Amino acid sequence: MTQRLEFVLLAGQAGVNFRRLCRRFGISPKTGYKWKQRYREGGNAALRDRSRRPKSSPQRCGMDVAAKVVELRREQPTWGGRKLRRRLRDLGQTAVPAASTCTEILRRAELLSPEGRAAAKPWQRFERAQPNELWQTDFKGHFPTQAGPRCHPLTVIDDCSRFNLVLAALADETGPTVQRELTRAFEQYGLPEALLCDNGAPWGALDATCRHTSLTVWLLRVGVRVMHGRPYHPQTQGKDERFHRTLNRDLLDRHTWRDLAHCAAQFPGFRHTYNCERPHDSLEGATPVSRYRPSVRSFPGSLPPLEYLTTDTVRTVHKNGIVMFHAQTWHIGRAFGGLPIGLRPSTQADGQWEVFFGHHRLGRLDLTAPPRPKHTARPIDTATSLSS
């Protein structure tokens, strides 16, 4: 400002070459005339910087549209600019502002938290190409209710579409309870090719030689391949874990839960919003229901019989989980007790036999290894098993 004042005072002196003076101050003649005019009209104060904000903004978001953005955000306090914009478009709103504008509206309304901005970091995703190629399942951490019993939410997510297939408020995490909920999902949506689960109960057994349980054996029998995630590595089921985070923020943390019936009454509304209304960033703003389609594989009314090749050697697993083969005791797993397995020679190496449960390969027997002491069962090699 002092330089501007010095310039206009010098420019007012008689005999001063105005254009040369502008060059010496590093300004154009147009700017020089502007400062002289301002000084004549307003004195020293007129030489201060003025706002460069335009007098009018034809593209500026209207107050009514901004109000709708804020209103939707208050209904869904965890949604960001992209989700809000997509949802307004899906609702038929015209002249929807850009996602960055929606975010700015939230900022002006003080609806953005520093923690939320810090957590918005890009990350790489991996997904199956088609719906029902893989479902991910897990229990959300259980929480107490006012009536006493803890709620154990069971969730199932389709890997490709992010469609939530199961959200059940359960009283326990036992195999029969989970089987009942999966049966309902299979009857409504059909069978997936594979189910990804963790290594804890009821999906995985404590016996390190066989991770299968009665629940996973049932899954194999109905035609669903079972895949276990890496131990102590929840990122393997990252999409279901991400769903749990949304479930926490959008529902669980916003209520005081009376009992399991209260949970069961509230879960369907959240599930509908998540599947049918909430835009999903990983789906380019689409909703999961728009990307999902039911499986063409129907759930069988009864367990199909276990069939093997005529050339297979069939053995029935003892109730303690072992079979006798070539004068040796082999540990198959207690979950297979009372059921037949098929043994067929390996085409890759002599002295090795493949172990099948129906058409699911369980592992391999190595007859060339040194025999173990009598009455000591040898585990099968499951390192390359398709069901693990």
Mapped to the 3 state alphabet, what secondary structure does the chain carry?
A: CHHHHHHHHHHCCCCCCHHHHHHHHCCCHHHHHHHHHHHHHHHHHHHCCCCCCCCCCCCCCCHHHHHHHHHHHHHCCCCCHHHHHHHHHHCCCCCCCCHHHHHHHHHHCCCCCHHHHHHCCCCCCCCCCCCCCCEEEEECCCECCCCCCCEEEEEEEECCCCCEEEEEEECCCCHHHHHHHHHHHHHHHCCCCEEEECCCCCCCCCCCCCCCCHHHHHHHHHCCEEEECCCCCHHHHHHHHHHHHHHHHHCHHHCCCCCHHHHHHHHHHHHHHHHHHCCCHHHCCCCHHHHCCCCCCCCCCCCCCCCCCCCCEEEECCCCCEEEECCEEEECCHHHCCCEEEEEECCCCCCEEEEEECCEEEEEEECCCCCCCCCCCEECECCCCCCC
Beta bridge mates, 378: 330
pLDDT score of 218: 95
Specify the amino acid at residue 16: V
Q: Are 288 and 280 in contact (CB under 8 A)?
A: yes
* Threshold 0.85, pTM exceeds: no
Give the chain's mean pLDDT: 84
pLDDT value, residue 105: 85
Categorize the per-residue pLDDT at 185 as very low, low, confident or very high, splitting at 50, 70 and 90: very high
**Is residue 289 predicted with pLDDT exceeding 80?**
yes
Least confident stretch, 150-164, 225-239, 280-294, 323-337: 225-239
User: Which band of pLDDT confidence, cut at 50, 70 and 90, is reported for residue 122?
Assistant: very low
Burial class (CB in 10 A: 0-12, 13-18, 19+), 288: buried
Residues in a beta bridge with 154? 139, 168
Highest mean pLDDT among 3-12, 34-43, 270-279: 270-279
CA distances from 346 to 207, 225, 354 (A): 26, 21, 6
Fill in the amino acid letter for 268: P
Of residues 62 and 201, more confidence is placed in 201
Q: What percent of the chain has pLDDT over 70?
A: 88
pLDDT at residue number 79:
84
6 or 171, higher pLDDT:
171
The per-residue pLDDT for 385 is 40
Percent of the chain with pLDDT over 90: 41
Whether residue 172 is predicted with pLDDT greater than 90 in this model: the reply is yes
Banded pLDDT at 145 (limits 50, 70, 90): very high
In this structure, of 54-58, 106-110, 133-137, 258-262, the range with the lowest mean pLDDT score is 54-58
Q: Which whole number is the average pLDDT over 68-92?
A: 85
- Identify which has the larger pLDDT, 230 or 180: 180
Q: Give per-residue pLDDT as tens, 196-238.
A: 988 888 888 766 667 789 999 999 999 999 988 765 545 567 7
Among 103-107, 166-170, 172-176, 257-261, the minimum mean pLDDT is found in 103-107
Does 120 have pLDDT greater than 70? no
pLDDT at position 240 is: 86
Q: For the segment 352-379, what is each residue's pLDDT rounded down to a tens digit?
A: 899 999 989 888 888 887 777 766 777 7
Q: Which residue has the higher pLDDT, 119 or 166?
A: 166
Instruction: Quote the longest CA-to-CA distance of the chain.
Output: 121
CATH among 3.30.420.10, 3.40.50.300, 1.10.10.60, 3.40.640.10 for 135-291:
3.30.420.10
Per-residue pLDDT, 63: 76
Per-residue pLDDT band at 316 (split at 50, 70, 90): very high
pLDDT higher than 50, residue 387: no
pLDDT at 119: 46
Backbone angles phi, psi at 107, to 5 degrees: -65, -45
**In the predicted structure, residue 123 carries a pLDDT above the cut 70:** no
The predicted pLDDT at position 113 comes to: 61
Say which residue, 97 or 127, is predicted with more confidence: 97
